[in-house]
Amino acid sequence: MSKNEKVSKRTLWSIILLSFAGELAWAVENQYFNVFIYQEIAPQPLYVSLMVAVTAAVSTFTTILMGTLSDTKGKRRIFLLFGYVFWTITTGIFPLAGYLQPIWLAVTIAILFDSIMSFFGATANDATLNAYVTDVTTLKNRGAVGAVKEIMFLLAILVVYGFAGVIIEVVGFYNFFYIIALVVGVVGIPGALITPEPQGLRPSELSYWENLKTTYTKKSLTKNKNFFKILISTGIWGVAFNVFFPFVLIYLDTDLNIDIALASILIAIALLVAIIGAYPIGKIVDKAGRKKIAILSIILESIGLFFFAITENIIIISISSTLWVFAMLCYNISSRTWLKDLYPEEKRGQFHGFYLFFNVLIGMTIGPFIGGIIAQSFGKYYVNDYGVPGFTPSMWVFMIAAILILLAIIPLIRAKEYQGE
């Protein structure tokens, strides 16, 4: 497929709007859905782990199935519009679970609502938008455009961390989720409406089920061996990252006695630094190569987590969190760009599902349970405002993650980059 090296302004704006809206919804889901179930329902880390694991499975299989459907139909725009409309609605209904009793029912409905939201989010963002970005970019500009998408990811998290704590204190958890849902709709739906279909994208000659079936053959797996080596790395990264990430705000609040507003500001500082560095990193990834940046990022992530774990000093917490957030950004840009380079052209939506299988399903299933077990074993006894007992996460979730994440280097050592299309 012939593509200009420069992405059109309309296409770039659609990517910006869709990315920001989607990442805002995911940022709230990844952190404040967890905080909500912990603080408003029951302070049990394993409830958080269970919700993260179930919704990771929903997101993964949705991406594979809906991505295949998008590939088969040769359409992106309608899937974006469908996904963002219902993503908006389902983000707003999540807090209704907090009104329910007993606790087991509230937890069950919270997981159900989060799963429904994850279906629409994965359809719009993971299955379709990621394939769309690959459709409209080349090896020469994919890192830079990927950096723009990562900037929206970081900006969304910055909004959530920088303002969410203050908004929650003023209007409460329930109204907070309604506000976020409104913003997702106001930004995301127009983004879908202005999205042009990629030039040259055509319906597949294979049926839906043939499209799926032909992927899972020995020939297909052998042909894409470098792709799967990178996926293994992202899977290990995902496990290690999710050992600690669902518990960051909870840890700062309960173990270090830093209130949620100040904790949000600390993470916001780290995100600002990462946002400033994102586009230059994308350009470096395009010029220096994906592999070098990915390996260096893993080492920096481990160092940042180690210092984050061993200190209670607010300055060192700020510096170390900035380091692990920046390293996360570098790894995301380099590894995701590398994977997009290797997507089969006719199966881009489906193949992003493989990324979710390794990074999200494996990462967000195994990682949070490791973190939850560590918290149950080493955390302090804790009782929430409603008198429900539980445990705090403890520094060990960060220390163990710092060790595990280094294993993500191993699969990358023999993985090859393709410099030509």
pLDDT in tens, 309-356: 999 888 999 899 999 999 998 999 899 888 888 877 666 667 777 777
For residue 207, which amino acid is it? S
Residue 5: per-residue pLDDT: 62
pLDDT in tens, 275-322: 888 888 888 888 877 888 999 999 999 999 999 999 988 899 989 999
Taking each helix axis from N to C end, the angle separating 225-244 and 314-342, rounded to the nearest 10 degrees, works out to 160
Please, which residues have CB within 8 angstroms of residue 131's CB and are 6 or more apart in sequence?
Answer: 67, 70, 71, 76, 343, 348, 349, 352
Q: For residue 309, give Cα distances in angstroms to 46, 267, 317, 324, 414.
A: 21, 15, 9, 12, 31
Residue 303: per-residue pLDDT: 96
Position 403 pLDDT exceeds 70: yes
pLDDT in tens, 61-80: 898 889 889 888 888 889 99
What is the mean predicted confidence (pLDDT) over 39-48?
A: 82
Average predicted confidence (pLDDT) for the chain: 85
What is the mean predicted confidence (pLDDT) over 213-228?
A: 73
Q: For residue 189, give Cα distances in angstroms to 17, 71, 85, 118, 184.
A: 9, 21, 6, 17, 8
Position 3 pLDDT exceeds 60: no
Instruction: Find the range with the poorest average confidence among 144-153, 171-180, 220-229.
Output: 220-229
- What's the chain's length in residues? 421
Which has the higher per-residue pLDDT, 360 or 125? 125
What's the CATH number of domain 9-193+200-412, 1.20.1250.20, 3.90.1150.110, 3.30.565.40, 3.90.110.10? 1.20.1250.20
Share above pLDDT 90 across residues of the chain, in percent, rounded to a whole number: 30
Kindly state the helix (H) or strand (E) to which residue 323 belongs, with its residue range. Answer: helix 314-342
Residue 1: per-residue pLDDT: 39
CA atoms within 13 A on the CB side of 75: 11
Identify which of 364, 368, 280, 265 has the alpha carbon closest to the alpha carbon of residue 329.
Answer: 280
Position 165 pLDDT exceeds 90: no
Cα torsion 330, 335, 338, 339: sign:
negative
pLDDT in tens, 256-281: 888 767 877 787 788 788 888 888 88
- The Cα–Cα gap between 17 and 416 comes to 33
- The Cα–Cα gap between 24 and 179 comes to 11
Residue 221: per-residue pLDDT: 65
